[in-house]
Chain A
Amino acid sequence: MKTVNINRTDRLIAALPKGKLLQPAFEKLKLAGFIFSEADKKSRKLIIEDKSHTVQALFVKPSDVPIYVEHGIADFGIVGKDSLLESGVDVFQPLELDFGRCKLAIAGFPGDRNRNWRLRSSVRVATKYPGITRWHFDKLGVQAEIIALNGSVELGVLAQLADIIVDIVETGTTLKENGLVIFEDILPVTATFIINKASHKLKLRQLDAVVSALRAE
């Protein structure tokens, strides 16, 4: 099988998130003229090249997209605002895209909804987003004991590991099925187009063209 080597001089390198955002990201890139073969998309290759030989796409875990872009391994990336903020990276984010919409919210048992956490010494929060959680509760002046989990955050509350959770809510079905409710929204989330700060200068024309094509829609 032919392998693709990263060619940073003549190609734009894109970091794309594996999972839910990947198909809509491909659709978006089509608008900029970047089409990838179906065979490549279905393969398990980690690097593929578009038909016009302009872009090489790296498939990475969503939370790793900002890292590849900040270090300049990828010139640009597409990533959820949640992963972007949690990573705290220093990148340009010129464009929000119209997919991957959801929100980060605080949830817990309905009976706890009206408790005043501010009057308690601390609140235990289970989350995949310890950074955003810290930022949010610091802003409120509430001491949060943050328990960082890697998945099934709802279980944190059900199993009484935590008082509340901070997590992504899309339809709310998982919460509902587990008897949990939203207390408060933290921030809206959408897929975001990000650019490495050096690439922005070094590949200005190509990247400007991509941004305009995606923005025009």
Chain B
Amino acid sequence: MVDQANKNPLRLPAGIKDFIFAEAEEHRVVERGLTDLLQQRGYREIITPTFEYGEIFEIATKAGMIRNGLDKKVYRFLDRDANLLALRADFTAQIARIAAGRFAEMEQILKIFYTGKVFRAEPHHEGRSREKWQVGFEIFNQASVEADAEAVINILEALDSFGLKNFRVAIGHIGYFHGLIKESGLTGEKRHTLKYLVERKDMAGISRHLEQTGISNEVKKILQRLPDLHGEAVVLEKAKSCTGNEKSLQAVEKLQKLWTFISSHPLAAHVFFDLSEVEGMGYYTGVMLKAFAPGVGSEIGSGGRYDQLTAVFGAEMPAIGFSFDVGLLTQARRILP
């Protein structure tokens, strides 16, 4: 082990970076590209605090906000009066707090964008950033599929505006999986394990797990096929034919309706559907979105519909949002000719 006690004053914690000149500029180009595009479309900026009471991330956690143990990645500290504070770990939780607190009476559609950094205590050795720069948008008070379509088109056009080629926007709907889970009757630990296995598309694991649960063969069959339910819009028909449960069918119908809004868009070929995509912030209640670009090994942006999150802050406002990772988008642009 290297001598840690002998501290070098020039060192930085793992996962933390300085961006100097050219690198600062290329990140700003991406940030500005996104914020300009959103501003032109009528989104207005909210600048959220860098830290606030730790409760909001706990409240959002209770609303189901657990993704890769995000709740465990919040940096918490005490102020002089022993209040528990937390660094911003997630913009959507903050924006939901602000929307519920300041716009609860508002009935018109509310469109917001933000830019800034989130801070997450990622393991030191895995080369992951502990400071992530995000630009994102949220649409409140529009529960209809038009808002979902607007979100998808924002993403497609934003990625296209940077000259990215062969990028993909994957669309899922958490309702499909929830319907199947409900039908299966699995609860607690067993349900959790199934979600974990589906997230990893671990077909063998799913089969073994379901063997031990004694659920009906019909549901078993669909759950085993779930990891294969991805592809172009035709896969939605297949997904529909797989199940008879109301909730799952409604989810697929929502996606089919969404497709009618985007299928004629010139960038529609970049869209595909994935019903086995169940990983995301636990607060999603409907459509789930992820964006990918060649040259980057993880998603360059993610989001979805979260109609119940504001309720935990005291106001019911349907919402859909998405955030781009400025660092990864910058990386994707670097491989362009």
Q: Residues of A with Cβ closer than 8 Å to B?
A: 8-9, 70-73, 90-96, 195-202, 204
Contacts and interface: CB of A to CB of B under 8 A. Distances in A.
Contacts of A197: 297-299
A98 B291 CA distance: 34
Contacts of B205: 93
Nearest to A188: B208
B99 to A, nearest CB: 30
6 contacts: A72-B296, A94-B201, A200-B201, A201-B168, A204-B230, A204-B231
B298 A202 contact: no
B103 interface: no
B272 A204 contact: yes
Contacts of B290: 201
B264 interface: no
B295 A8 contact: yes
B203 A196 contact: no
Nearest to B203: A94
B272 A93 contact: no
A72 B298 contact: yes
B168 A93 contact: no
A90 B199 CA distance: 9
Interface residues of B, number: 26
B200 interface: yes
A58 B200 CA distance: 23
A92 B201 contact: yes
Contact of A94 (B227, B272, B299): B227
Contacts of B204: 95-96
A201 B200 contact: no
B127 interface: yes
A8 B294 contact: yes
Given A95-B204, A204-B230, 8 more contacts: A8-B295, A9-B294, A92-B201, A196-B297, A201-B272, A202-B167, A202-B292, A204-B272
A198 B296 contact: yes
A93 B297 contact: no
Interface centre among B68, B167, B170 (most CB of A within 10 A): B170
B292 A91 contact: no
Contacts of A92: 200-201
A97 B292 CA distance: 28
Given A71-B297, A202-B292, A94 B127 contact: no
